[in-house]
Structure 1
Amino acid sequence: MITVRISFEKKNEASYISLLDLQRVMQRVLKRSGLPVWHTLGFNPHIYMTFACPLSLGQESECECVDVKTEAEAPDFEQWKAALNAIMPAGIVITHVGPVQMKADLIAYACYRITYPAAAAAALDAYNALESAPVEKHGKKGNKIIELKEHLPKVEYTTEGDSLHIELCLPAAQELNLNPSLLTGFLEEKFGLPAVSANILRKKFLTADKQLFV
């Protein structure tokens, strides 16, 4: 049995599809495609699927992936890609299909591009001037205070016309997973920069030694 990684982009209206709904979408699309994906055994068989680092609602991504299994001996992955793209909902595009090379637990960082209106520069300069930026992180085991400055001592940005772009990488491991919304939320609370004015795009995952996760 081969474990297959289906990599995809999730943008525009698809950014508002929750993880639970995304699981349903993928189940239905895989069934409609007729591809030889493996189903779990038991009373209620369903397609085996695992997603790496679920994406927050409203955020976009160029590096999402779901792993499935197949008993096909020599799957035509280009045919898989074409079959899936033909029936994917708007905003989801399959970018690559192939055998798994790295296990998802090797992901250590997620890299993002945050786009604001150019006027956000004043709030970012004010953030960079701070010595401390404590934020409350909500988790299944309760809430805790995270010091943003330990992970983002300075936020670099570039401006292009009426837009401002931030490129940053944050921990995305099981031990510590930081969402860029912690930064956008802090900027809103501290400096009045509306979090809804930020477009968050996840660009790639990195391993602990900063290698590209594939």
Structure 2
Amino acid sequence: MPRYRIEYRKEGMARFISHLDLVRTLERAMRRAGLPLAFSRGFNPHPRFSLGAPLPVGVMGEREYLDLELVTALPEDEIKGRLNEQLPGGLEVTRVWSIPEDAPALMATLEKATYRVDLRLVRAITPEDLRKIIDGLLALPEIIITRRSGDKKEKTLDIRPGIHALSGRVEGNRVTLEMCLAVGSRATVRPEEVVQVLAERFGLPVADEQPGVSRTGLYCGG
């Protein structure tokens, strides 16, 4: 059956939609768009589509992806147009293209994600201060953190291998960090964990408030 990869944005108020609600919203838009959807088998069939790495609530996504199966091929621009007519504000399809029917599952191929993190500081620092803080983190051979799972169990893990790149710039009392982190079924590093290490171990004077986080891209290995 024809398979398509769909690139979309999740921004504005839509960034507060949970992953489960996003799946429901996308399914509703697909049905209303009248696409010739392929369905799973079983007692409660669902359209055959799968998303990339889940986006945490409150985080914007500039280039998110999903794979969709249809029973009849359609022009990519038609799929894009039909979906955008049905999607709510803050969700927009930006690109659609065909992929082979036997292409690996999207989640299995993703290995890296890039993020932009905007932070307010409680005191001013210089660009040189920020460079030293970032260099200090990148020089560490390992970074052991404690992560709490959904069932409130705690586990320790080394996130240093999953920090592929980190840079930043100072603008007044704000810092913008650019990160490339591991993501996918094998390992994931969260932007807030990197910020916590920068604050607690290297003295980045971050204000006690939620940072502005945007995931700017998702990438396969290589």
**Deviation larger for 124-133 or 112-121:** 124-133
TM-superposed CA distance for 1:182, in Å, is 1.1
Q: Contact conserved, 2:165 with 2:179, CA < 8 A, in 1?
A: no
Distance 1:127 1:76, change over 3 A: closer
Partner of 2:148: 138
State the partner residue of 1:23: 23
1:181 aligns with 2:192: yes
* 1:138 partner letter: R
Structure 1 stretches of 5 or more lacking a match? 210-214
The alpha-carbon distance between structure 1 residues 171 and 76, as it changes in their structure 2 partners (threshold 3 A), is same
The residue correspondences of 1:127-206 to structure 2 (distance < 5 A) are 128-129=135-136, 134-139=144-149, 142-152=153-163, 155-160=166-171, 163-187=174-198, 191=203, 193-194=206-207, 196-206=209-219
Deviation at 1:5, TM superposition (A): 1.6
Please state how far the C-alpha of 1:115 moved relative to its aligned partner. Answer: 1.6
Greater Cα shift, 149-158 or 43-52: 149-158
Q: Identify if the C-alpha distance between structure 1 residues 7 and 154 changes in structure 2 by more than 3 Å, giving closer, same or farther.
A: closer
Counting aligned pairs with the same residue, the percent is: 24
Q: Deviations over 1:12-56 (max 9, x none)?
A: 211110011001101111111011111223332221121111111
Aligned residues: 208
Deviation readout 1:42-82 (Å, 9 max, x if unpaired): 33222112111111111111121121211114x11101111
Query: Closer, same or farther in 2 for the Cα pair 1:193/1:70, shift >3 Å?
Result: same
Indicate the SS of the match to 1:44: coil
Alignment check: 8 A CA contact 1:120 1:164 kept: no
Q: TM-score normalized by structure 2? A: 0.79
Give the secondary-structure state (helix, strand or coil) at the position aligned to 1:97.
strand
Quick one: structure 1 residues 69 and 151, their matched pair in 2 at CA, closer, same or farther if it must change by over 3 Å? closer
Query: 1:104-163 CA distances to partner (integer Å, 9 max, x unpaired)?
Result: 212111111112236575795556546575421234694322345555498421234664
Give the corresponding residue for 1:109: 112
Distance 1:112 1:89 in 2: 24
Root-mean-square deviation (CA, aligned residues, Å) is 2.9
Any unmatched runs of 5+ in structure 2? none
Matches within 5 A, 1:51-62: 51-62=51-62
Q: Which amino acid aligns with 1:12?
A: G
Q: Work out whether residues 108 and 171 of structure 1, in 8 Å CA contact, stay in contact via their aligned partners in 2.
A: yes
User: Given the superposition, is the C-alpha separation of residues 27 and 150 from structure 1 closer, same or farther in structure 2, using an over 3 Å criterion?
Assistant: closer
SS across alignment from 1:99: strand
Q: Give, in angstroms, the shift of residue 97 of structure 1.
A: 1.3
Quick one: structure 1 residues 195 and 6, their matched pair in 2 at CA, closer, same or farther if it must change by over 3 Å? farther
Equivalences for 1:52-131 in 2 at 5 Å? 52-73=52-73, 75-100=74-99, 103=104, 104=106, 105-117=108-120, 121=125, 124=130, 126=133, 128-129=135-136
